[in-house]
Amino acid sequence: MDTVYVHGLTVETVIGIFDWEREIKQKVVLDIEMAVDISPSAATEDIDRTVSYKDVSDRLTQFVQASEFLLVETMAEEIAALVLAEFPVPFVRIKLGKPDAIANAADVGVIIERGQKPA
């Protein structure tokens, strides 16, 4: 299995548990890695035979901008579920960072890996 990825997708959204966080938008940064067999698209140069990182980026940007989660954990779970439901991938790895959350840290967040449930 190969990997199609998007790293450093930056989106502003409402995220956080504190009252002041519910009143502003904060930056979150996503790294998404999706298991994909790229050989069909490589052999034919047909974008429809792979997962378009542009389509994934556009969809996740729309989703995250419209969301208002309390926890990055919940946001990461929902992003993983969306990718698995809307794109033909059996596995996704999500790194979700909230770079401005801790004054003396470059970034904080979660990394999760999720796969399709067996039929």
Per the structure, the complete domain to which residue 17 belongs is given by: 2-115
Catalytic residues, by residue number, are 98
Show the tokens assigned to 39: 């050989």
The pLDDT of residue 119 is: 66
List the CATH number of the domain containing 39.
3.30.1130.10
Domain count, the chain: 1
Instruction: Give tens-digit pLDDT for 9-34.
Output: 999 999 999 999 999 999 999 999 99
Instruction: Give tens-digit pLDDT for 81-106.
Output: 999 999 999 999 999 999 999 999 99
- Do residues 80 and 93 touch, judged by C-beta distance below 8 A? no
Predicted confidence band at 4 (pLDDT cuts at 50, 70, 90)?
Answer: very high
The pLDDT of residue 96 is: 98
Mean pLDDT across the chain: 96
Residues 62 and 39: their CA atoms lie apart, in Å, by 29
Give the mean model confidence (pLDDT) for residues 37-58: 95
Residues 116 and 103: their CA atoms lie apart, in Å, by 37
The pLDDT of residue 87 is: 97
Residue 2, pLDDT above cutoff 90: yes
The pLDDT of residue 58 is: 98
Kindly state the percentage of the chain with pLDDT values over 90: 95
